[in-house]
Chain A
Amino acid sequence: MVTVLKETDAVVIGMGWTGSILSRELTKAGLHVVGLERGAMRTPREDFTIPQIRDELKYSSRHELFQDTAMETVTLRHNTRETALPIRRLGSFLPGNNVGGAGSHWNGATWRRLEADYLVRSHYTQKYGAKVIPADMTVQDFGVTFAEMEPFYDKFEKLCGISGQAGNLRGQKIAGGNVFEGPRSNPYPNKPLARNVAASLFEDACRKLGYHPFPQPSANASEAYTNPEGATMGQCVYCGFCERYGCESNAKASPNVNILPVLLPDPRFELRTHAYVKKLNYDARAKKVKSVTYIDTRSGEEYEQPAGLVILGAYVFNNTLLMLYSGIGTPYDPATGRGTVGKNYCYQYTGSGVTVFFDDKETNPFMAAGAFGSVIDDFNSDNFDHSGLGFIGGGHISAGLSNGRPIETRAVPPGTPRWGKAWKTATAKYYRRWFTVAGTACNYAYRDNYLDLDPTYKDAIGRPLLRMTFNFKENDYKIGAFLSQKSAEIARAMNPTIMTPPRYRDGDYDARPYQSTHNTGGTIMGADPRTSVVNKYLQSWDASNLFIMGASTFPQNQSYNPTGPLGALAYWSANAIVNTYLKNPGPLLHA
């Protein structure tokens, strides 16, 4: 028995960053918007309070704020010959749940993509020849350029009060900022965060080697800030409880702090929590989504919400699952390369570097912010010559720790046992005297890395789980070897007491240790409906009233954390919807 509700102007699925931004922009344009969130309400005042929020066991070890894998997860296999098995407990990535989504418990690293990042295929082909891209690497251009995105990066940075140092202001390079970034129209809204010992040592070493260090751009506010919406942020207190936690100081930008206080009171907006969207109801003849079906997770009752406009703003996995399960577009087939939904699933290639220990330093790892420390971009993207290297892309290298929470963040020198007296002695000595120097790299798309529906395993409401077929490839391993050597070179220049050998992830993708929640692709954007799910405005090629937000639209993943790029894309898409689509609803582009 499904209860059919009264039609609304727009329905927004998911109340993370993109759903909150779209809801705000659409209500400002006069639309009545219903927001559907599968999880519960979360407010800083009620849920992110001191001292309870500083509970490492509850939030980090027991995953308090994340997707409940007892209800839904994904299956994984490394190639199409294997049988995929469910990821039964989260490990390598931690998708969010509840109002605010992962935007409430992220670290806050906020980047702009580089100009070449939007043109991966055409840039490398033009500069190095078509052969530089392996035959089975399916990288694509985004269909938008950095110049088109810049005003929307600016808008997202102002929404979040990003702390950082500009490196390219309207074409003028500024030492101390990222001199590789594309020209920006404005400086960051806030000055960079304080520097710790790790950042200071890293910067000195990098300058000695001729590199260009700059402070990590951060959504942890270096000063109290009021954003253009009128929402206020407190000043970061460097408590070291950022990723996996809500911020009790309101100093970390989140939907809960930076948008929802002004969106929730708006009478044009109605938020429904515990509303778990099961399916989009597709009218193939009209090429539109006429309604969405959701389940109230408290009662199990089903509702159908008709809407003129549908915004799909769930996480990468649910965006792709809902498209496949609802039969919108053509599922991707790795055997033929045809179809698009599920294509170009990518991840993040992290951890190429070294760990350093200092007998004569106090690094105070517990005094930290989530997005903190110092970075170089000298070996990222195409900022360096790739001739003869045997790979394309690269990564940024950074130093330091985002926290000193002791269940998760400890290290002992190589050769130390994992337990017993020797372990205790080494841990007591080095807990406060170590950090990592490591690269985080892009992960480029391959023909046989993709998402589809699992043939065996089901979620709690009877739908197939999403199946991930994924492994790292030669391009990743070569970048890993390269970045780990560069990291070691920088680390040696810091003169540590002990340094581990350079290491990188050289085996099969491992779903157990945390790497990043930077899953991308599955509903990718592009200029051609034969090779993309949405157009450059994030409008579905198969349903003109459906717009898909978030990192599921990235054709491949760069080294940078996805939130800055997906925030800018959300404002870019909202601008196209409000100023063009609503005046004449229909396809914004024709194939």
Chain B
Amino acid sequence: MADEKIPRRDFLKTAGAGAAGAALATSAGMARAPEAAAAAAPAAQAEPEVWLALTPTEQAFVKAAVDTLIPADELTPSGSDCGLAVFIDRQLAGGFGNGARLYRSGPFLPAKPELGYQLALSPREFFRAGIVATNEWTTKTYGKEFDRLTPAQQEEAMKALESGKAQFNGGFTSAFFFDNFLQLTMEGFFADPMYGGNRDKVAWKMIGFPGLPASYREEIKTYFNKKYDKGPLSIADFS
């Protein structure tokens, strides 16, 4: 359950990280649009005032799960501190979560994996069902819901989901749920920060992706086999 969570504490912690990140970016010589970068800082908020899609139990699961997939280390803050729970909440509340661009006419039949997604559920319904199934499995296996497990147990449980060893009853395997959850998490981690994840462009800094400069017309030659260390710049930095 989510009753032990202290969103306010999380908020203060991540708001601080956001400010530090913005200062770092400015000092790193992003002279192109310092005002835009400063203006973008409010976008790097921690938790939203209200959650758009996730229930309290789902919020707790998603935070714990993204923290397991993206643990805090010297490279980046934890997944939830990178804004990934916010990202997932917004994605599931919007067009994607509600089945935009998904062919949803029946009949719905069991299929070979190569035919892709064949469930009658919208992505929002699918992730909701997957969270219920995961918590049922961890409760059966460890006596607790996923977010109440120790970090070592969470890692172990995540591996059981990934391999499909965690038994799900209800139309899809734990491995299928894992694959989809990992994909959504990675989308949030590496997408433009305006979607709520990749806060302060932490994932782009981690890998050295410069974001979206206007041109590499000269740099394609001058940086041949040389590390390119400018940026990163996001959409808000340009707007």
Contact = CB atoms under 8 A, between A and B. Distances in A.
Contacts of A200: 224
A407 B208 contact: no
B60 to A, nearest CB: 19
Interface stretch (B6-14, B130-138, B164-172, B212-220): B212-220
B192 A57 contact: yes
Interface string B4-48: 000000000000000000000000000000000000000000000
Contacts of B187: 57, 61, 407
A590 interface: no
B228 A362 contact: yes
Contacts, number: 169
A510 B25 CA distance: 42
Interface string A391-414: 000000000000010110010000
Interface in A31-88: 50-52, 54-57, 61-63, 66, 68-70, 73, 76, 78, 83, 85-88
Interface string B165-208: 00000000000000000100111001110010000000110111
Interface in A490-519: 507-512
Contacts of B211: 54
A406 B158 contact: no
A50 B238 contact: yes
A115 B156 CA distance: 58
A235 interface: yes
B191 A56 contact: yes
Contacts of B71: 420-421, 424
Nearest to A508: B114
Interface string B85-129: 000000000011001111111010101111111100000000000
Contact of A88 (B68, B117, B158): B117
Nearest to B206: A428
B70 A424 contact: yes
A410 B203 CA distance: 12
A239 B228 contact: no
Nearest to A72: B103
Contact of B75 (A51, A90, A424): A424
A366 interface: yes
Contact of B114 (A51, A238, A510): A510
Interface in A507-561: 507-512
Contacts of A406: 190, 203-204, 207, 209
A432 B208 contact: yes
A218 to B, nearest CB: 14
Contacts of A62: 95-96, 100-101
Contacts of A428: 75, 206-208
Given A70-B102, A239-B213, A510-B113, 8 more contacts: A54-B192, A54-B211, A62-B100, A88-B117, A363-B225, A367-B216, A432-B207, A508-B112
27 contacts: A50-B212, A50-B238, A52-B235, A55-B235, A57-B195, A61-B191, A62-B101, A66-B101, A69-B103, A70-B99, A70-B100, A85-B118, A87-B103, A196-B224, A237-B216, A238-B217, A239-B213, A362-B227, A363-B225, A366-B210, A366-B228, A367-B228, A420-B68, A424-B76, A428-B207, A507-B114, A511-B116
Interface of A: 50-52, 54-57, 61-63, 66, 68-70, 73, 76, 78, 83, 85-91, 194, 196-197, 200, 235-241, 361-364, 366-367, 404, 406-407, 410, 418-421, 424-425, 427-428, 431-432, 456-458, 507-512
